[in-house]
Amino acid sequence: MNTCDLVIIGGGSAGMAAAIGAYKKGVRDILILERDAEPGGILLQCIHNGFGLHTFGEELTGPSYAERFTTQIGELGIRCVTGALVLHLHADKTLDYISPQTGYQQVKARAVILAMGCRERPRGAIGIPGTRPAGIWTAGTAQRYLNLDGIMPGRRVFILGSGDIGLIMARRMTLEGAEVKVVAELMPYSGGLKRNIVQCLDDYGIPLKLSHTVVEIRGKERVEGITLAQVDGKGKPIPGTEEDYDCDTLLLSVGLIPENELSGDMGVEMNPVTSGPKVNERMETNIEGVFACGNVLHVHDLVDFVSEEAAAAGRNAARYVQGGEPQSAGQVIELQPVNGVRYTVPCTIDPEKMDETQIVRFRVGNVYKNMAIGVYFDGEQVQHRRRQVMAPGEMEEVKLEKAKLLAHPGLKTITIQVEEA
C-alpha cells in the first residue's frame, strides 16, 4: 500500500487552491485525484467572464482562471492523477482509486481534503408530470455540450429555474441563435446573482416569471412543448393559470447538490441544510485529519470565495500533517443560525485554534430589504451591520476576531440572525 501526507479528492478550483495552500505551508507529499481528463472542474466549460476579481484583481473567463492554478500546480511539481475515480474512502483515511495511468491503487493518507464539488439536481428529483422525450437537459450538461463539444442542444428553449447556470445559459443560447422563450422560477425570488439577471436576461429581453413552474411536458420522441402554471405560497399550481409554450428543449437549473457519497461512506457528519459536511474553524470534519472545502461543503456563488476557503483548508491540513496545531483549552463555541439565516460555515469555533480573523459564511432564506445582520455572544449583541438587500442567491459573511472571542472565556454560542435595521 502506498502512503501520502495529503490526498485531495477533486482537482477543480477548490482542490488546486487547497494543494497550493498546503504546499506553501511546507507539505511536499501531495496527491490530487481528479475524475475528469484534466484539472479545472466546472470552470473549463464556463467560458464567460466574471471570475478572478477578488483573487487576481482582474476579470477572467473560467478556463483562464483554472489555468492560473494548473500552471502553479505544474510549477510546484504537485502530483495530479487525472481520470482517477475514487471507489472507497475509509475512516482510517485509506482510499481506493482506479485510473488509466495507474490501474487500481490503494493509498494511506495522513490527511484528506474533500473537494469533490457538486452536481445538478435532475428532472427525476423534482417530479415534473408528462412524457419522457429527448430534449430535457440540466443547464450544466447543455453548457458542456455547447461550450466544449460544439453541439447545439436545441433551437426553441424554455428554462425552468433561475440558478446562475440557467441564467448564463439563457444568454449563451440566445447568442448562438436560439429563441429562449421564458425563464421560470418556482420561488418568489431568483436563485441567481443580481448581476446575472441583469446581464443575461434583462439585456436580452428574456422574461423571468417568478412563482411559476412546469406542470406538464409534451412530446413523444422530442420535446414539443410545456405547460407553465403559477404557484401559490406553498408551491402548489393554481388551477386556471396554465400557459402553453411550444419548445424543443427544456433546460433545468433547479439546484446543486454537494457530491458527498464518499464523505457519507467515511462517516463524516453532514449538515442537513447544506447537504455538506459539518466543519470547524479549520475546515475539519468530525473525523480528525479530514477537511472539506468548496462546493462539496456548501454551494458558493463566486469561485474566488471557493479558492479562498480552499487555501485555508490546505493550510490547516498542512498544520495537521506537521503536528503544528495549537493546543486547545477545550472551549468549543457553537454557531447558531436563526431568524432568516439558514446555516453557517463553520458550525463550531475553537478560539485557541482559529486564525486572528475567522470568516463565517452563510445564506439567508428569503429576500430582505433594509434589514441588518446581528451577531450575538450568548445573547449579547456584538455586531449590527445594515444591508440594503439580502437574497438567497448571494452569499453573506461576517468576520469574527480571535481577541474578542478569547475575551469571553465562558462563551458557548454565537448567534447570527437577520434583524430590523
- Give one DSSP letter per residue of 256-304, joined into a string: EEE--HHHHHHT--EETTTTEE---TTSB-SSTTEEE-GGGTS--S-HH
Topology of the domain covering 1-120+255-325: FAD/NAD(P)-binding domain (3.50.50)
Q: Note the helical H segments in 30-138.
A: 62-76
Report the pLDDT value the prediction gives residue 329, as an integer from 0 to 100: 61
Residues 6+ apart with CB under 8 A from 19: 6, 8, 30, 32, 73, 78, 314
Question: What is the number of other CB atoms lying within 10 angstroms of the CB of residue 140?
Answer: 23
Residue found under cell 441588518: 372
Closest CA to 182 of 133, 109, 118, 249: 249
What confidence score (pLDDT) does residue 124 get? 87
Q: Which helix (H) or strand (E) holds 87?
A: strand 85-89
Indicate whether this model's pTM tops 0.85.
yes
Rounded to the nearest 5°, which phi and psi values hold at 308?
Answer: -65, -45
SS3 315: helix
Locus of grid cell 472542474: 41
Fold of 122-254: FAD/NAD(P)-binding domain (3.50.50)
Cell digits of residue 374: 446581528
Q: Could you please state the CATH topology (level 3) that the domain comprising 328-421 is classified under.
A: Immunoglobulin-like (2.60.40)
pLDDT for 125: 86
What are the average pLDDT values for consecutive 10-residue runs of the chain, which has 421 residues? 95 97 96 96 94 93 97 96 96 95 94 96 88 94 96 97 95 97 94 92 96 95 96 94 96 94 94 96 95 96 94 96 75 93 96 92 94 95 94 93 90 95 84
CATH 2.60.40 location in the chain: 328-421
Delimit the CATH 3.50.50.60 region(s) of the chain: 1-120+255-325, 122-254
pLDDT at 328 (0 to 100): 66
